[in-house]
Amino acid sequence: MRFEYQTHIMDTAKNTPIMNNEKISFISYEKYIVTGMKSILMKAKDSKKKILAYINNNLQNLIVRNVIRPTQRYADMLEFSYHPNCFSNAIEREKVLHNMWAYPYKNKKVVHYEFSDLIDGDIPIFYNNISKTSLIASDGCLVEDFYQESALNRCLNKINDLCDEDISIQTVWLEIALNIYNPYKYINDLKNQNSNKYIYTGLELNSKIIQACQKIEKKIFKRAIFNKKTNTVNWIDIKLDQDWNGGS
């Protein structure tokens, strides 16, 4: 018996774009995709009142599925629990599934329902009323105050706060996903601006520097993610593959 490497060709996904009955790549349409997303977000920014009114009038109390942990994680735990040693000893099987308690949920009550479904051989499933903060388990029981804010309120606040800066950030994320992001583009744009248009005196220059520093401080603080439990702070950042390569 031996193992050999073989080339394997996977079928394309079912959501692959098709034009004239032929599958096409998105690569030729990258700029259109970015332009389209920016156009949609700009339209949303300019139509906030209409969108907010529609959501408030039509989308209250919807029940939606919540994926609180990767489904594959549940499948892996079930597979581990089907080991012969676990099938011959129920205590050993429960020990394996009790590893679910190690996940850092703020509200550990949800693990009870995960364990209950897994012990029955089911993938745990949860739902949520988007107007409320509770989680609904597969048996209909509620995990109260699982979320700090309802999904509906978060959505409404996101739309209400949508601004040009948000659209710019989302555009960058999309460019990264499409692998067309140029980190130097925005720097070059600033360089192309006429920075020598204004000449400041010493005091004026100091004032401008202080104002710029204060703006930077506000942006840094606004984007900070604080963890009170570990007394740490983090920021979401963009790192491309080439950024991790050190010079030789």
Number of domains in the chain: 2
132 and 205 part of one domain: no
Contact 205, 199 (CB under 8 A): no
**DSSP helix/strand/coil, 143:** strand
Q: pLDDT-derived band of residue 187, with 50, 70 and 90 as boundaries?
A: low
135 and 207 part of one domain: no
Q: Is the pLDDT of residue 9 over 90?
A: no
126 and 206 part of one domain: no
- Tell me, rounded to whole angstroms, the distance of Cα 220 from its chain centroid: 20
**Residue 161 within a domain:** no
**How many angstroms separate the Cα of 147 from the Cα of each of 3, 125, 152, 239?**
49, 16, 12, 30
Q: pLDDT-derived band of residue 239, with 50, 70 and 90 as boundaries?
A: low
Burial of 128 (0-12, 13-18, 19+ CB in 10 A): buried
Domain extent, residue 213, equals 200-236
What CA–CA distance (Å, rounded) separates 141 from 125?
12
| pLDDT of the residue at 248 | 38
Place of tokens 């006429």: 194
Arithmetic mean of pLDDT, 216-220 = 88
Q: pLDDT-derived band of residue 190, with 50, 70 and 90 as boundaries?
A: low
Domain boundary among 151, 180, 211: 151
**Residue 112 within a domain:** yes
**Residue 168 within a domain:** no
Find the range with the poorest average confidence among 29-38, 131-140, 145-154, 195-204: 195-204
Domain boundary among 135, 151, 167: 151
143 and 70 part of one domain: yes
| pLDDT of the residue at 246 | 44
Name the range with the highest mean pLDDT among 50-59, 94-103, 166-175.
50-59
Arithmetic mean of pLDDT, 174-180 = 88
**Residue 132 within a domain:** yes
Arithmetic mean of pLDDT, 38-50 = 96
Apex 161 CA angle, 159 and 164, nearest 5:
100
Q: pLDDT-derived band of residue 193, with 50, 70 and 90 as boundaries?
A: low
Domain boundary among 92, 127, 151: 151
Place of tokens 């989302």: 170
Find the range with the poorest average confidence among 12-26, 45-59, 116-130, 181-195: 181-195
Mean pLDDT for the chain overall: 85
Arithmetic mean of pLDDT, 9-24 = 80
Arithmetic mean of pLDDT, 145-161 = 95
145 and 207 part of one domain: no
**Residue 81 within a domain:** yes
Arithmetic mean of pLDDT, 111-133 = 95
146 and 221 part of one domain: no
Q: Among 147, 82, 80, 78, which residue's Cα sits nearest to residue 109?
A: 147
Q: What is the CA radius of gyration of the chain?
A: 26
What CA–CA distance (Å, rounded) separates 194 from 199?
12
Of all residues in the chain, what percent carry a pLDDT higher than 90?
Answer: 45
| pLDDT of the residue at 2 | 75
**Residue 96 within a domain:** yes
**DSSP helix/strand/coil, 202:** helix
| pLDDT of the residue at 196 | 54
Place of tokens 């993938």: 123
Q: Is the pLDDT of residue 198 over 90?
A: no
For residue 51, give the amino acid letter. I
| pLDDT of the residue at 241 | 60
**Residue 143 within a domain:** yes
Q: Is the pLDDT of residue 109 over 50?
A: yes
73 and 145 part of one domain: yes
| pLDDT of the residue at 4 | 83
Which residue would you say has higher pLDDT here, 64 or 191? 64
For residue 102, give the amino acid letter. A
69 and 144 part of one domain: yes
**Residue 221 within a domain:** yes
